């Protein structure tokens, strides 16, 4: 697979106003356009803002996801972006069938050269797809991975229901995310996330609004415990939460 397959392409609207102040119907199209704008500098901004720790988090999540799945698992990377997660899964599981799905066309396009460079162009499929209406049959995958995507979903219960539908019974998911903290964290939330990260992201990407959206989206999202409840409501029977260094800034949620 060396190109991009359009599968259930979402509609792009013309929403107005700051992303953090928009309702779900307007926010989805705006977030889509935001990721398309910053696609070319997305990886560089991530490496700078996380000091490369996001790579370690991704590896930790995928290690646990792949354990015991056999030689030829069917794997989904939901919100695949520039395909780092899909590529990591393909490297770790040489016999796997890997699909990377995202609603931002330019993000996927930015990741396609990585497939060619890694010799994985025939092993990873890149699909333009909406997480609320996934274009896959029931139980299509043995496992699914998602990194920093679910916070951007306009209708979280609907999207988690879709994720449950396309992962087979007994399969598992691993989700990396920034959740709203249950208690105030003055340094991380009041200073680092609200002030430092937007400046770093702006400096690398040149897009100020995109990185103002980051702390706003965290503040508007659910807590880890609330997310676990949503997973249970979607039909995931077992949920584990692991806070990641430093100080629970990010969390890994595993469910089956």
pLDDT digits (tens, 9 = 90+) for 64-97: 999 999 999 999 999 999 999 999 999 999 999 9
What pLDDT score does 248 carry?
67
For residues 140 and 194, what is the distance between their CA atoms, to the nearest angstrom? Answer: 39
What pLDDT score does 47 carry?
85
Residue range(s) defining the domain that contains residue 119: 4-12+19-255
What pLDDT score does 185 carry?
74
What pLDDT score does 110 carry?
97
For the beta carbon of residue 23, count every other beta carbon within 10 angstroms: 10
Of 233 and 23, the structure prediction assigns the larger pLDDT to 233
Helices 197-205 and 208-220: crossing angle in degrees, nearest 10, is 150
CA-based nearest residue to 252, from 187, 154, 172: 172
CB proximity list for 21: less than 8 A, separation 6 or greater: none
Radius of gyration, CA atoms only, the chain: 17
Query: Peptide bond before 246: cis, by omega within 30 degrees of 0?
Result: yes
Confidence category of residue 186, pLDDT binned at 50, 70, 90: low
User: How many separate domains does the chain show?
Assistant: 1
CA distances from 71 to 62, 93, 142, 173, 256 (A): 15, 7, 12, 18, 19
Specify which residues 175 forms β-bridges with.
Answer: 146, 253
Of 203 and 180, the structure prediction assigns the larger pLDDT to 180
For residues 222 and 229, what is the distance between their CA atoms, to the nearest angstrom? Answer: 10
For residues 192 and 179, what is the distance between their CA atoms, to the nearest angstrom? Answer: 15
Of 151 and 8, the structure prediction assigns the larger pLDDT to 151
Pairing state between β 250-255 and 167-177: antiparallel
**In this structure, what CATH number is given to the domain that contains residue 31?**
3.40.50.150
For residues 104 and 122, what is the distance between their CA atoms, to the nearest angstrom? Answer: 21
Confidence category of residue 100, pLDDT binned at 50, 70, 90: very high
What pLDDT score does 59 carry?
94
- Structure token pair of residue 208: 């100020």
Confidence category of residue 193, pLDDT binned at 50, 70, 90: low
What residue has token string 């995310």?
177
- Structure token pair of residue 213: 């959206």
For residues 152 and 7, what is the distance between their CA atoms, to the nearest angstrom? Answer: 19
Q: How many residues does the chain have?
A: 256
Predicted confidence (pLDDT) at residue 14 exceeds the cutoff of 80: no
Mean pLDDT of 175-190: 81
What pLDDT score does 68 carry?
92
Predicted confidence (pLDDT) at residue 52 exceeds the cutoff of 80: yes
What pLDDT score does 173 carry?
98
For residues 42 and 205, what is the distance between their CA atoms, to the nearest angstrom? Answer: 7
Q: Work out the mean pLDDT of the chain and round it to a whole number.
A: 86
Decide if 247 contacts 188 (C-beta within 8 A): yes
Q: How remote is the C-alpha of 106 from its chain's centroid?
A: 15
């Amino acid at each position: 697979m060396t190109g991009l397959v359009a599968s259930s392409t979402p509609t792009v609207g013309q929403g107005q106003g700051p992303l953090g102040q928009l309702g779900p119907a307007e926010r989805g199209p705006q977030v889509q356009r935001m990721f398309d704008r910053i696609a070319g500098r997305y990886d560089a901004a991530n490496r700078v803002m996380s000091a490369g720790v996001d790579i370690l988090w991704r590896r930790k999540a995928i290690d646990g996801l792949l354990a015991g799945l056999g030689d030829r698992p069917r794997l989904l990377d939901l919100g695949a972006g520039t395909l780092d997660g899909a590529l990591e899964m393909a490297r770790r599981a040489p016999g796997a069938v890997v699909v990377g799905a995202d609603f931002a066309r330019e993000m996927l396009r930015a990741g396609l050269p990585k497939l060619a460079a890694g010799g994985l162009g025939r092993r990873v499929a890149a699909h333009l797809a909406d997480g609320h209406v996934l274009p896959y049959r029931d139980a299509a995958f043995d496992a699914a991975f998602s990194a920093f995507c679910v916070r951007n979903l306009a209708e979280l219960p609907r999207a988690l229901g879709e994720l449950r539908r396309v992962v087979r019974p007994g399969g598992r998911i691993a989700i990396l995310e920034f959740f709203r903290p249950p208690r105030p964290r003055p340094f991380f939330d009041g200073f680092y996330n609200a002030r430092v990260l937007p400046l770093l992201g702006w400096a690398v990407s040149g897009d100020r609004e995109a990185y103002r959206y980051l702390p706003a989206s965290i503040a508007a999202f659910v807590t880890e415990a609330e997310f676990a409840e949503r997973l249970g409501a979607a039909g995931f029977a077992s949920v584990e939460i692991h806070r990641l260094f430093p100080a629970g800034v990010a969390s890994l949620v595993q469910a089956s």
